[in-house]
Amino acid sequence: MKAFQVERYGDQAGVRAGQSPDPQIGAGDVLVRIRAASVNPLDLKIRDGEFKAILPYRTPFILGNDLAGIVVAVGAAVTGFAVGHEVYARPDKDRIGTFAELIAVHQDDVAIKPATLTMTEAASLPLVALTAWQALVERAHVRPGQKVLIHAGSGGVGTIAIQLAKHLGAHVATTTSTANIDLVKKLGADVVIDYKKQAFETVLHDYDLVLDPLGGENLEKSLLILRSGGKAISIAGPPDAAFARELGANPILRLVMTALSFRIRRRARQRHVTYEFLFMKASGDQLRELTALVDAGTIRPVVDRVFPFESTREALEYVEKGRAKAGKVVITMP
């Protein structure tokens, strides 16, 4: 099959188009012919080797973390899917590889594609929608009336998280650029901070939750706007000990992760708030919950640009250079 593989860690030059063996399916797997896949910042971090310590993929490996497609074969133990089903998924972190014609995914990580979406739209959702769900529902248990700040509201995670937080009954603030103010308002944001003109930490206060996809100084400033007992969840901040345990990391790696997050955790404690790192997990069950919201019109995907499969390297570069104006970048198969 055709695929885009990382032949060596480092940068764009390490990604090559080529032929790869068709995947073998296990008893619990579904084989999916991919119709569309989306590009995430995670793909760039994996390509560049930033996650080698926790995700040690052996080169060459196929890149890509989101897909929508059609089931073409099922393993002997598969019960919920049949050949011809239209599905979408974020494969497990140990089985990525959606920049290809085919992929084998465990049935637990797959869901039937929302009926109201095209393949292109569906492919834009799994990773970012699962991230939003796991932050807002699974971790924070957002309740009606709570105040939630979602940074980078026009980004892939932000566009979905705003809609989900509003569905949960939250009062939602977001940060974005001037050009995307109208978009995030349409998605449901109650308060919009133009980060080019305002410092959010001087405007907002007494928030229950911050969802941070940016990390660094942005994360540290986010602690300032939380009420006592509030929580900051970051998908870009330093990993913490809880993540190390979840990963099953060895004692040395646990120690390293604990040290990396020491500063932000200490600052959080000083302000009587908490910090958590989130690395989203694959989940077909959660995707089914999200499918219901999509088909009900509660959540809609935002797609910035679509590239043909042969232009996958260009799609990666487009995301890397920050050219996407809002939402996700999607790759479609012939």
| Domains of the chain, each with CATH number or no CATH | 2-124+301-332 (3.90.180.10), 127-277 (3.40.50.720)
Is pLDDT of 53 > 90?
A: no
Q: Are 133 and 281 in contact (CB under 8 A)?
A: no
DSSP secondary structure letter of residue 14 = G
Q: Are 87 and 81 in contact (CB under 8 A)?
A: yes
- Residue 254: is its pLDDT beyond 90? no
Distance CA 23, CA 14 (A): 22
Q: What is the pLDDT of residue 54?
A: 81
Res 323: pLDDT:
87
The pLDDT of residue 311 is 98
Is residue 236 within 8 Å of 279, Cβ to Cβ?
A: no
Kindly state the percentage of the chain with pLDDT values over 70: 100
The DSSP letter of residue 114 is P
Mean pLDDT for 306-317 is 97
Looking at the chain, list the stretches that DSSP marks H as alpha helix, in order from N- to C-terminal side. Answer: 41-47, 119-123, 126-133, 156-167, 181-187, 200-203, 216-222, 241-247, 251-260, 262-270, 284-295, 312-320
pLDDT band at 243 (very low <50, low <70, confident <90, very high): confident
The pLDDT tens digits for 120-141 are: 999 999 999 999 999 999 999 9
Position 109 scores a pLDDT of 98
Residue found under tokens 């393949």: 119
| Confidence at residue 249, expressed as pLDDT on a 0 to 100 scale | 78
177 and 194 Cβ atoms separated by less than 8 Å: yes
Is the pLDDT confidence value at 288 over 90? yes
Chain centroid to Cα 280, Å, comes to 7
Partners of 112 in the β-ladder:
87
Residue 234 scores a pLDDT above 90: yes
Residue 240 pLDDT level (bands cut at 50, 70, 90): confident
Distance (Å, whole) CA 315 – CA 334:
16
Average pLDDT, the chain: 96
State the pLDDT at residue 224.
98
Q: Is residue 247 over pLDDT 90?
A: no
AA letter at 150: I
Contacts of 97 (CB under 8 A, 6+ apart): 3, 23, 61, 62, 63, 64, 91, 103
pTM given for the model: 0.97
Query: Tens digit of pLDDT for each residue in 191-220?
Result: 999 999 999 999 999 999 999 999 999 999
Is the separation of the CB atoms in 37 and 64 below 8 Å? yes
> How confident is the model over 58-107, as pLDDT tens digits?
999 999 999 999 999 999 999 999 999 999 999 999 999 999 999 999 99
For the ranges 117-121, 258-262, 264-268, the lowest mean pLDDT is seen at 258-262
Residue labelled with tokens 């760039």: 44
